[in-house]
Every structure is written in C-alpha cells, then in structure tokens.
Structure 1
C-alpha cells in the first residue's frame, strides 16, 4: 500500500485501497476561505479548508472532478465557491450556491457562467441557516430554466412534513447524505418512501456521503449500520447516485474521519465495479453538466 499525504481536516495518511477511475468526481465538499466575508460566528468557519488544502485530498484519493458546495459560514455570498471553482479548474469543477430570494436574474446568469449548477437548502438545523422553507418553491421556479437542481440537506422528519412541497417542485432534487435517514430505523422511516417515490419518477438523486452523520457505530464500527440504507438506494436507482467526501467534515470536531476509509466505504456499498464507475463518473457528469471531453482532465 502506498503512503498518502497529510491532508488538513482528515485523519490518516494512507491512500484508499480502492482505485478511483479516470474522471471520478467528489460531488460534495466545502471550501472555507478567510479572504471572503463570513456571516456566521467564527466557530462556524473551518481552518485549513481552502481550495489549495483540498488539492491534497484530491491527490490522495485520485478523484479528478469536484463539486464545491457553499457552506453555511459564507451565507449567500458565493464568492468563496466561485473562487474555488476557478482555482480547482472550471472544466473539472462545478458548484452549488446558496441564494437569497431577491437574487437578480443577472446574478443567476453570473453564477451559471461561474460553474454553479444548483442551489442548496441546508435546513436540517436552524443554526446559521441562510435560507428558509418559505423560499424553496420561489427559488425553484427561478432556477429551473437554467437547468439547475435543488440540493436539500433536510432531516427525515422535514422530508415527511414537506412531502407535498417536494412533489410539486419543478426542479431536479438532490438529497444529501443518504437522505439523512435516522438509524436504526433506516429504510423503515416514512421518509424513505417519500424519497423512493421521487427517485422512481426520475425527479431525485441521492448523495452517498456523510456516513458519520447518522451512524450509531461510527468509525470504530466501520459505519456498517449505514450499509443497508446505501444498498437500498443502489437497488432503487443506481443511475441517480453520486458520491461525496463531505470534506472538511465540518460536523466532525475535533476528531476528523479518515478520507481513505470513506472512499473505501463506497466499494462496500457498491461492490460491483461497473456500478461504482457509474456512481463516480457517469452519474455526476450528467447531473453537474461536466464536459464530455477529457482532454484537460489528465492530472488530479
């Protein structure tokens, strides 16, 4: 096994045992950059989580494409995310923004030109939330014409409570972190049926990420209690799954997970190599509008 590098906000140094295929995409990570305004209290910022820091992780895991998700700490000013897209390579990087309802059409066009392909509603907790439920439908209608999706980090209870809203939204929906189904209930939770219905109709995608958020056994138990949920999504719609590291793991402090373990976890969730290639390459290429050519994708 080859040694990897020391990566900020990541435990361990080894490389994953699983090799990343060419054009593999990390579809969920965040950049925190003190050069840009922060709207939350300082403790919401994560140190050593810039685009330059993330390059070390990309070299360690072997992924080549990236989706930068606007973090709560930077509010609705997406300058940090746009700068990260430029720094990591605009042909290999896309972004998910956070918008205020009063965003102008010119702002949406500027964001699209900068690589934004979706907007996020991180409403699982009210702490530092930059958006509200009453803005979801309004903004969905604003961005659908751009081909953008709505990325939702909601609790399972919120999914159930807002099921009617979700069904009438015009946009593609992307649900963070395995759908945030609580354990041990997992697929027995009523939210699974709501999400399964949306996926079955081709309306929704699921991110295979954030295993530590709902696992009760944690890293010590290899996050094995998340396997059934991940594999249920694989059985439902393998063409509607993407993978993300969730680096720099802002919810995990002070102990950070080992990103090699998290990448290898995908091989356990999706043991078939062809299916895993779809999750890492073909699916994110379709969802995030990556170019079809790989002429500029030769370096991690």
Structure 2
C-alpha cells in the first residue's frame, strides 16, 4: 500500500541519548503501523503511513534504554486492533496496550484484548483526524470497559477542552490526556488557555497527562524544543504522580520535520529536573497504571 506522498518516514538512525533512563523505564506512548500487507489499514482512515511494525518498535525501545512500552492504537487502523494486539503478545509481558473500540465490540473481544495486555481505550477528539461523536457515545463505551479496570485516553486540542469539559470531568475511571492537551506554546504558561488545562488536572484527581510530543508542539524546533519545556515541567512539578512520557514513535502526521528519538529522550531531564521526578515519570507511574495488580 502506497503511503501518502507527504508522509515523513521515522528517523532511520536516531542518536544514542545522553540521558540514560532508569531501570524499568517505560515508553508510555508509541504505535505500530501494519505492516499493511498483514494488518490492513482502515478504509475510513485520514492518512496512509509508512509501515512501522513491532520489530522496529522493539529495536528502538532497546536502543533508547527503555524496558517496556505502551502501544496506543493509531487512527489509521480504526477499531481493528489486530496489529496492536499482535505486538502485545509478541512482547512477552513487556508491553501494554490502549485500544480503539466501537459500540459493536463484543464482550469476548474485550476479554481477549484484556488478556493480551490492553489496559485502556482511546477517544480521539481531534477534528482533522476523526469525526467526534456526541458525549453519550463515549459514556456508553466507558461503561463497557470500566468493569475491566481499564482507563480512558483522550486526545484533543487546547481549544476543545472547554467544549468537552462536562464529559471529561464526568468519567468514572482514570483519564489520561495525550500530549499536554496540545497547548499553543506561543501563549504564556500562566495564561488563560493553559491555565484551564492546569485547572482540569488540579480539580480532577483521576486525570493524568502525557508530557510528550514536544516535536508536535514546538515552534522553535529541534533538537531542544525549548519552548515546550516550561509547559511540560509545570505539569510534572504540580502532579508528579500523574504524568507519563512517551516517544510517539513512529511520529504519525508530522509535517515540519521527523524528530530524532534520541533528542526526545534528552528532553526528559529538562522537564523532570530531579531524579525522583524522573523515576515517577518513567517507572513508578506507568507501572502503577499499566502493570500493578494485573498479570
């Protein structure tokens, strides 16, 4: 299957990070794409990527110094979680997953995914990628997965938070926000827009955030992504027990550049400046959310 003409392929030779992650570190946000010949892409997809399968993901995990991964279902595969589940089963307990489901998912399918290591379901509200549904649609799906102990991952852009506030604050399970809620980093950290996100976390103790994807948010660009660091650091320091970090490999829909994953790892000490913050971010928090109390 031919990828989109403007698709940027993941970095073929990333640098070795200067920062060495602690033992047990988790890349808590990454994806697998296909390969399309084995796991076809969804007919309704908004993009066709370059294949990026489990073997390449596991090789990068080891090269960067991580021990475990959380593999998040990508929109190009729709609600067919086969590629993600295949990667989980191949990982030998070293990976957990976040699925995309629809109302017609069966209890047997949910049980099979749970057995494979799925621990959450993702709802995408980014309008350029999907057509979001009414609130009732998501509440019904949460009712299906809550008995399994799964959490919800939500992906939205900063302007969408107010629109979905009632839904997001009503969910009776842990809620994990992708990529800091995609703030506009040209606006101040203490301004109204990011202030609403900080309020969202402060008032809702079940809300977590991934402090990931500076390459998506930055206007200054690589290798330091310095304009994103204050936003991520503000969340890490306010809520050290509710933050996660991930590479977002293989970096879908990047248009400005393809990041060097080693550079992304080297941002970590700047957003979590103390060792205890880094251990919580990379080891303790993802272990608690994805592994503890479950086989």
Residue of structure 2 equivalent to 1:172: 174
Partner of 1:59: 62
Deviation at 1:14, TM superposition (A): 2.4
User: What number of residue pairs does the alignment pair up?
Assistant: 283
| Residue 199 to residue 50, structure 1, CA distance change in 2 (3 Å) | farther
From 91, 112, 118, the equivalent of 2:114 is: 112
Q: Deviations over 1:116-152 (max 9, x none)?
A: 100111221243x276344211111221111111101
**Per-residue deviation, 1:227:** 1.3
Cα distance in structure 2, aligned partners of 1:84 and 1:131:
27
Unaligned runs of 5+ in 2: 1-8
Change (3 A) 1:65 1:199: farther
| C-alpha separation in 2, matches of 1:64 and 1:165 | 34
Which structure carries more helix by proportion?
Answer: 1
Inter-CA distance 291–66: structure 2 relative to 1 (3 Å threshold):
farther
The residue aligned with 1:298 is none
Equivalent position to 1:206, from 199, 209, 217: 209
Q: Structure 1: which 5+ runs fail to align?
A: 1-7, 294-300
What's 2:221 paired with?
218
SS of the residue 2:141 aligns to: helix
Partner SS, residue 185 of structure 2: coil
The 2-side partners of 1:71 and 1:136 are apart by 18
Shift of 1:84: 0.7
Separation (CA, whole Å) in 2 of partners of 1:249 and 1:154: 17
Confirm whether residue 38 of structure 1 aligns to residue 53 of structure 2. Answer: no
Aligned equivalents of 1:80, 1:186: Cα separation in 2:
40
Pick the aligned partner of 2:290 from 281, 288, 291. Answer: 288
Q: How far does the alpha carbon of each residue in 1:100-124 deviate from its partner, in whole angstroms, 9 at most, with x for none?
A: 0221222211211111100111221
Indicate the RMSD between aligned Cα atoms, in angstroms.
Answer: 2.2
Q: Does 1:21 align with 2:22?
A: yes
**3-state SS in 1 of match to 2:152:** strand
Alignment partner of 2:161: what SS?
helix
Label 1:93 to 1:205 Cα distance change in 2 as closer, same or farther (>3 A).
same
Distance 1:41 1:98, change over 3 A: closer
Matches within 5 A, 1:273-284: 273-284=275-286
Contact 2:126/2:132 (8 A) holds in 1: no
